[in-house]
Chain A
Amino acid sequence: AQKITQTQPGMFVQEKEAVTLDCTYDTSDPSYGLFWYKQPSSGEMIFLIYQGSYDQQNATEGRYSLNFQKARKSANLVISASQLGDSAMYFCAMREPFSGTYKYIFGTGTRLKVLA
C-alpha cells in the first residue's frame, strides 16, 4: 500500500544553516510524483518542490532542494541558509496517477523551528 513516513516530529535549526527534513515512501508503482508543502501557523499549504520518479536529477527551487534516492525510497527536503520565516510544518506527499484513484498521500509532517 502507498505510504509516506516522516520520522521527525520536530526539528530545530540555527538561522543561516542548512537543514534536512526526512521523507521515505512506499509504492509498487514505477511512476509516481513526490511533493513537499510548507504550512505556516496561519494554516495555508504552500507547494515547495516536486520530484518525478523518472527524473534523473534532484529537483531544486531556490533555497529548496530535494535529495532523491530512489533505491532507498527517500525524498528528503534540504533547506539551505535557513531563515526565521522558514519556521513551519512541512509535509511530504506522493501521487500515483495510474493507481486509478488520483489521490495524494501525505506524511504526518515535521515541525521546523528556526532559531535566531
Chain B
Amino acid sequence: DGGITQSPKYLFRKEGQNVTLSCEQNLNHDAMYWYRQDPGQGLRLIYYSQIVNDFQKGDIAEGYSVSREKKESFPLTVTSAQKNPTAFYLCASSLETGGTNQPQHFGDGTRLSIL
C-alpha cells in the first residue's frame, strides 16, 4: 500500500545532540512538509519542499534543517540550536497539480523528547 512512513515513532535527544527524523513516501508526491505539534495545539509548518533539491522555510524553521535529495525522502534534523524540541512531529506529502483539491497525506508522526 502507498503511504508515508515516519521513523522512529519515539525519539529521545540528549542535550547538545542533533537528531534526525526520517520521512519516506511511495505515493510519488512532489511536495513534502514537516510540521510541529505541541500538546493541545495546531500544526506549525517547519519546512516544505515542492521539488527535489529545493526547500523553503516555514513559520518555525529556526533550529531545524532538512534535505531533499530524493523525491521519496525528506529527513528533518533537529539541531542542538532548537532549545525546546519536545513535540510531536508530522511529515506530510501532496501532489502538485496546480489545483486546490489535493489533500495532504500524513505519516503517523514521531514523538521527540529531551532526556
Indicate whether A45 sits within 8 Å of B90 (C-beta atoms), given known contacts A33-B100, A52-B100, A95-B100. yes
Number of A-B contacts (CB under 8 A): 60
Q: Identify which of residues 10-27 in chain B touch chain A, using a CB-to-CB cut-off of 8 Å.
A: none
How would residues 73 to 116 of chain A score, 1 for a CB under 8 Å from any chain B CB and 0 otherwise?
A: 00000000000000000010101110001111011110100000
Q: Which residues of B come within 8 Å of A, CB atoms?
A: 31, 33, 40-43, 45, 48, 50, 56, 58, 88, 90, 92, 94, 96, 98-109, 111
Q: Is the CB of B41 within 8 A of A108?
A: yes
Q: How far is the CA of A53 from the CA of B92 in the complex (A)?
A: 23
Q: Which residues of A come within 8 Å of B, CB atoms?
A: 31-33, 35, 37, 42-45, 47, 50, 52-53, 91, 93, 95-97, 101-104, 106-109, 111
Determine which of B42, B58, B98, B104 lies in contact with A47 in the assembled complex, contact meaning CB atoms within 8 Å: B104
